[in-house]
Structure 1
Amino acid sequence: MREDITQALPDAPTPAADKGERSKLYYFSIIALLILATEVVGFEFTFIYPAVGQIAAEFKTQQVAWALTILYLGGTAVVPVVGKLADIHGKKKMFVRCALCFLAGTLVCAVAPSFPVFMTGRALQASALPFFVLGYGLIRDLLPARLVPIGLGALATSTGISAILSTFLGGWLIDAHGFRATFWFLFGYMGVLLLAVIAFLPESPVRSPQRVDYKGALLLVLGCAVLLVSLGMKGVTLVAALLISVGLLVAFYQSQKRIAAPLIDPSILTRPAFFLTLATTGSLTVAWAGYGFLFPQLLMAPHGATGYGFGLSAVQLALWHGLPMGLGTMACGMLGGWLARRSGPRVVLILGALLLVAACLMVAFVAPTTDSAWVFRLMSFTDGAAAGFFQAGTQNIIVETVPAERQGISGSMNFMVQSLGGSLATAGLTAVLLKYPLGAGKAGQFLFTWEGYRTVFLIAAACAVLSLVISLARRDGRTPASGGLVSGAH
């Protein structure tokens, strides 16, 4: 039965639509500012993809994948804590605090003399990962319900915009000035956007007074960290690490059942719609993050030494990969929001999973058989389109499932699963790829056999297939998205 959130939950805040709407220009200005502000999340990932070779050579390490993994790992701890604090103190206020921490981390990365110092800066940069959770929450809190599905889809397009800008701008900066120049750009960009957020972004009126479980956050991040480190282990050490990880994560879950204000709310997890959404997010993110990290490496590998690469520069990579991927994300993020409002978010998730399966299989079986640029651009466009549908469908399902005053914690739980999936993708798939070494290129870039790349992309495809099966099986999300007017309907 469909029921208004204010009827289902007497203590819930009054929706924005009931307070008297303002002009569409006002609401679209909020969306535009949030898109610009959340761009930095995409930048801190996509700037690294074409710079992997330079970073590995600069710091003389084969563990450069951890420059991405540590962001995801940081997200598992930072995002739920920030989401909880946002529900208590306000989403804009936490946005500002996270931005300041991000600026500090970016400065450390720009001047880092060693890989450990660089990784410290990257860990601080993880403070930007809650931006999407805060942005989605602000859209729900500030926009009329009828505009929420479109707003969520529009915010999902920011990953596409950053993919386009970062590969061209980042490619030029990396080729002309080295990878450190990208961090100086990020420092200036975030500084300007922080001033704009302080001056123009309204604060959310939604509050949910409660305590923050810092002990639980520590158990969670330690459990995830040990799990990720274990991916590079063997034998007895591997078994011991896995047992420690499972013990920490079980202790974390048990602690959440005993406290009044948990980081992960077991009562939300009992909702089939939300639990299935987390399962879809986890499996899709492994495939999506693995594709995003490994595909640029494949294209930038020298053809003469590998038999499959093209030796692309960072700017050329933008034309082959970043531009088509970004266009796909932008187009299908907006389209996904419209489809969710018209036909329900389930169909949007199905489309995203189908396209991601296709993208991974194309790389695994078609990439070594052709040198046509348009084929690789099609692969990247397909991957971007999958990402747009995935983000739009996921966020609309969460809004339909969870009440407004619990949006912060629910969005944090979803993003935490996304962070863990990304961690497993970059650390786990890289561990698999390292089993297929080919040597080192002239610039110090580590090379791998084609068999290794095919293996990791088939693993990514299998994860995308799992998300497709879950999306097809779920019974919820079949009715048009209401923008949060329907809550707890499943």
Structure 2
Amino acid sequence: MPRSNALNTKRSPSPSAITAVLALSGTVVALMQTLVIPLLPDFPELLDVTADDASWLVTATLLSSAVATPIVSRSADMYGKRKMMVVCLAIMVAGSVMAAVGGSFVWLIIGRALQGFSAALIPVGISIMRDELPKEKMGSAVALMSATLGIGSALGLPLAGLLYESLGWASIFWVSAAAGALLLVAVLLVVPESKVRTAGRFDYAGALVLSAALAALLLAISKGGTWGWGSEPVLLLFLTAAILLAVWVPYELKVSQPMVDLRTSGRRPVLMTNVASLLIGFAMFANMLLTTQQLQLPTATGYGFGLNVITAGLCMVPSGLAMMVFAPVSGRIIRVSGGKSALIAGAIVMIVGYVGRVFFYDSIAWVIIGSTVVSVGTAIAYAAMPTLIMGVVPRTETASANGLNSLVRSIGTSTSSAAVAAVLTSVSMTVGAVQLPSFDAFKDVFWLAALASAASVVATVFIPRATAGHRSPVSGSAAAEIVVQGRVLAPDNRPVTPAVVTVLQTAGEPVDWSRVDAEGNYSVALPGAGKYLMVANAAGWAPMAEVFDFDGRTRHQNFLLRDRLEIAGLVTAGSEAVAGAVVTLLEAGGGYVATTLSDDDGAYAFPLPLAGRYIVTMLHPMTHEAMAQKLAVDNRSMTLDFAAPRVEEKSTEPVGA
């Protein structure tokens, strides 16, 4: 019997093992971004290309990561999160091998572009944490992933220099391939596949247009300094991005199952978190760009220290280690005070670090301390962002929502890179026969990063306090969640949209919610069998609530809305009903809304419009007697009768005769 139990009991991976494997993905992503940076000055000679051509080794990864992140994240919600992590790692390993053995600049560019797929590991990994880890471990796990992201950035610079000097430039790509392969095996062995899936069809058209828009936008930002911000290629790229986004936004609002749920993304908690993320991404990247550059600039500048690439990279290690040390602190802040407080705290620490760097810069120790303070603030802020996002989006959309947040941060870092380059080249000094940036340029960027951090605090203030932390804990484990789908329908079985379905425990604690698509479909994740309170709310309809006794097997639950909200009334003249009266609904500002005719009983009705002030007019069909009344509409059905005076017939001809 004991032997039988041993055979039938399958041990699940521990939360600590899952956290460790997923957190390491942050290190791999950071390595992909930073390993080639120290070699950029040497690549033109090594590959017989121009410096501008060599910069494509960074640009190719930037573009592919921007395109891959939202697509892979959405696919993870639909087809499986672990599956998409495996796909990304396999593509990254293939790209690393191509770059190592290709032997030409073209193959190197292709390999770097494939390495960019690794960027999607971060949002997908965080979403797996949400699905598989207990609530009390989520904050510290996400903070640890943020810390490993910093560790990867700090280690990538000196590691690249050491590998290049010892084994040649191809070795950095072999190391990338080995790291990706090891992580791929670890994911397959340790990370379970989430059962939380979003049903439906993938939005190929939306993905294509968004990819083109992002590629144009980021290419313009990254190459603007080199090609000239007023040059025709850059202006054309910005114009192309604007046109494509102008096409993409209304399409996403109309399509049944969009690539990005813009209505959810436009909610204040998500929107303000993404705005803060963009600003924090801008401020964070300035620290990485300026620190190693200041350490490597010649001492003749008065503020540089003349260190080589490897030594300057090693000076970044304390920043990465500090992020690792502060990961539990970040998790505790999130657990005790919520993600909003953590994001504000992280931004304030970054402000302190940047202001300090303006005034304390005359020793290597001060540079390291300033960089470390900024990195600590970054770790706290980065840990808070996914927490805030996951606290307000549907559980079936966590990967795509985190993917959008990661994309916004990458736009911030790209903009930071362009801004830093513009400032450093415009505020310069002559050292010997060489033009180098003056320390005033560094100060300008420090102040700019501090202002971006301060602006992120302002954006965070507008995040509602109720969304600061996680959802309340629900019964059962996240790993056992089951997706229930259904439709919200009218009495004639037509889909009702826009609508939202919310699931609560019978004690009132939130479980999940879902926005209904254009075909009336919704998906919610329930943590196990039990009774739940489900509420459906649609514009123009009375909300409906019912208790759903979930047996753990039923996967479909429809809502049939019964009561249409409306403006209705009677048109009478004396004691007689007036049939055929023309009743028109106008906005208070004069805009036309709808027209209807009263029936044989004098009754008329309009579907309830959006809340606001309106004017309702009535025109008698025979006497041409006209009346109008003001009406303040809220979210309730309203009655508005018209009692026309009994007047002797002025005309025997109907209106319009």
Task: Give TM-score, length-normalised by structure 1.
Answer: 0.85
- Which of 145, 148, 166 is matched with 1:155 structurally? 145
Q: Which residue of 1 aligns with 2:114?
A: 124
Distance 1:225 1:480 in 2: 34
Q: Which residue of 2 aligns with 1:457?
A: 446
Q: Which residue of 2 aligns with 1:324?
A: 318
Instruction: Write the letter of the residue equivalent to 2:133.
Output: L
Which deviates more, 385-394 or 178-187? 178-187
Task: Give the 3-state SS of the residue equivalent to 1:53 in structure 2.
Answer: coil
Does residue 338 (structure 1) correspond to residue 332 (structure 2)? The answer is yes
Aligned-pair distance for 1:113? 5.0
Q: Which residue of 1 aligns with 2:205?
A: 215
Distance 2:172 2:149 in 1: 17
Does residue 37 (structure 1) correspond to residue 32 (structure 2)? The answer is no
1:41–1:133 distance in 2 versus 1, CA, 3 Å: same
Instruction: Write the letter of the residue equivalent to 1:140.
Output: R
1:307–1:466 distance in 2 versus 1, CA, 3 Å: same
Task: Give the 3-state SS of the residue equivalent to 1:157 in structure 2.
Answer: helix
Q: How does 1:143-292 map to 2 (within 5 A)?
A: 143-230=133-220, 231-232=224-225, 233-235=228-230, 237=232, 239-292=235-288
Which deviates more, 461-470 or 215-224? 215-224
1:354–1:399 distance in 2 versus 1, CA, 3 Å: same
Instruction: Write the letter of the residue equivalent to 1:257.
Output: L
Q: How does 1:24-173 map to 2 (within 5 A)?
A: 26-55=14-43, 58=46, 59-62=49-52, 66-111=56-101, 113=103, 115-173=105-163
Instruction: Write the letter of the residue equivalent to 2:367.
Output: F
Does residue 348 (structure 1) correspond to residue 342 (structure 2)? The answer is yes
Distance 1:251 1:456 in 2: 35
Aligned-pair distance for 1:127? 0.6
Instruction: Write the letter of the residue equivalent to 1:462.
Output: L
Instruction: Write the letter of the residue equivalent to 2:34.
Output: T
1:122–1:454 distance in 2 versus 1, CA, 3 Å: farther
Instruction: Write the letter of the residue equivalent to 1:314.
Output: V
Distance 1:407 1:453 in 2: 38
**Greater strand percent: which structure?**
2
Instruction: Write the letter of the residue equivalent to 2:441.
Output: G
1:71–1:441 distance in 2 versus 1, CA, 3 Å: farther
Task: Give the 3-state SS of the residue equivalent to 2:258 in structure 1.
Answer: coil
Distance 1:351 1:64 in 2: 39
1:487–1:47 distance in 2 versus 1, CA, 3 Å: farther
Does residue 311 (structure 1) correspond to residue 306 (structure 2)? The answer is yes
| Larger-gyration structure (1/2) | 2
Q: Is the Cα–Cα contact under 8 Å of residues 109 and 118 in structure 1 kept in the other structure?
A: yes
Instruction: Write the letter of the residue equivalent to 2:175.
Output: F
Q: Is the Cα–Cα contact under 8 Å of residues 81 and 214 in structure 1 kept in the other structure?
A: no
Aligned-pair distance for 1:387? 1.9
Q: Which residue of 2 aligns with 1:3?
A: none
Task: Give the 3-state SS of the residue equivalent to 1:401 in structure 2.
Answer: coil
Distance 1:128 1:441 in 2: 43
Which runs of 5 or more residues in structure 1 are unaligned?
A: 1-21
Aligned-pair distance for 1:128? 0.4
Q: Is the Cα–Cα contact under 8 Å of residues 300 and 309 in structure 1 kept in the other structure?
A: yes
State the Cα deviation string for residues 407-431 of structure 1 (Å, max 9, x = none).
1111111111112222222234324
Distance 2:435 2:105 in 1: 17
State the Cα deviation string for residues 387-438 of structure 1 (Å, max 9, x = none).
2101211111112111211111111111111122222222343244344566
Q: Is the Cα–Cα contact under 8 Å of residues 391 and 467 in structure 2 kept in the other structure?
A: no
Distance 1:256 1:278 in 2: 18
Q: Is the Cα–Cα contact under 8 Å of residues 334 and 469 in structure 2 kept in the other structure?
A: yes
1:446–1:55 distance in 2 versus 1, CA, 3 Å: farther
Which runs of 5 or more residues in structure 2 are unaligned?
A: 1-9, 475-509, 514-657
1:175–1:355 distance in 2 versus 1, CA, 3 Å: farther
Q: Is the Cα–Cα contact under 8 Å of residues 71 and 123 in structure 1 kept in the other structure?
A: yes
Q: How does 1:459-474 map to 2 (within 5 A)?
A: 459-474=448-463
Identical counterparts, % of pairs: 27
Q: Is the Cα–Cα contact under 8 Å of residues 319 and 375 in structure 2 kept in the other structure?
A: yes
State the Cα deviation string for residues 172-200 of structure 1 (Å, max 9, x = none).
22343344322221111111221222223
Q: Is the Cα–Cα contact under 8 Å of residues 160 and 328 in structure 1 kept in the other structure?
A: no
Q: Is the Cα–Cα contact under 8 Å of residues 295 and 364 in structure 2 kept in the other structure?
A: no
Q: Which residue of 1 aligns with 2:559?
A: none
State the Cα deviation string for residues 62-103 of structure 1 (Å, max 9, x = none).
565554444333222211111111111111111111111111
State the Cα deviation string for residues 199-227 of structure 1 (Å, max 9, x = none).
23211111112222233233223323333
- Which of 341, 350, 360 is matched with 1:366 structurally? 360
Task: Give the 3-state SS of the residue equivalent to 1:129 in structure 2.
Answer: helix
Distance 2:432 2:40 in 1: 13
1:365–1:121 distance in 2 versus 1, CA, 3 Å: farther
1:174–1:107 distance in 2 versus 1, CA, 3 Å: same
Task: Give the 3-state SS of the residue equivalent to 2:156 in structure 1.
Answer: helix
Aligned-pair distance for 1:115? 4.8
Does residue 430 (structure 1) correspond to residue 425 (structure 2)? The answer is no
Point out which structure has higher relative CO (alpha carbons under 8 A, 6+ apart). Answer: 1
Q: Is the Cα–Cα contact under 8 Å of residues 157 and 330 in structure 1 kept in the other structure?
A: yes
Does residue 376 (structure 1) correspond to residue 367 (structure 2)? The answer is yes
Distance 2:353 2:448 in 1: 13
Q: Is the Cα–Cα contact under 8 Å of residues 330 and 383 in structure 2 kept in the other structure?
A: yes
Aligned-pair distance for 1:134? 1.2
**Greater helix percent: which structure?**
1
Q: Is the Cα–Cα contact under 8 Å of residues 95 and 115 in structure 2 kept in the other structure?
A: yes
Task: Give TM-score, length-normalised by structure 2.
Answer: 0.64
Q: Which residue of 1 aligns with 2:390?
A: 399
Which deviates more, 126-135 or 236-245? 236-245
Q: Is the Cα–Cα contact under 8 Å of residues 427 and 441 in structure 2 kept in the other structure?
A: yes
Instruction: Write the letter of the residue equivalent to 2:307.
Output: L
Which deviates more, 382-391 or 216-225? 216-225
Aligned-pair distance for 1:307? 3.4
Distance 1:436 1:175 in 2: 33
Q: Is the Cα–Cα contact under 8 Å of residues 399 and 483 in structure 1 kept in the other structure?
A: no
Does residue 416 (structure 1) correspond to residue 404 (structure 2)? The answer is no
1:211–1:327 distance in 2 versus 1, CA, 3 Å: same
Q: Is the Cα–Cα contact under 8 Å of residues 216 and 263 in structure 1 kept in the other structure?
A: yes
Distance 2:134 2:399 in 1: 18
Q: Root-mean-square deviation (CA), in Å? A: 3.0
Task: Give the 3-state SS of the residue equivalent to 2:41 in structure 1.
Answer: helix
1:384–1:64 distance in 2 versus 1, CA, 3 Å: farther
Distance 2:376 2:119 in 1: 22
1:441–1:121 distance in 2 versus 1, CA, 3 Å: farther
Instruction: Write the letter of the residue equivalent to 1:312.
Output: L
Instruction: Write the letter of the residue equivalent to 2:199.
Output: P
Distance 1:458 1:349 in 2: 20
Task: Give the 3-state SS of the residue equivalent to 1:210 in structure 2.
Answer: coil
Q: Is the Cα–Cα contact under 8 Å of residues 173 and 179 in structure 1 kept in the other structure?
A: yes
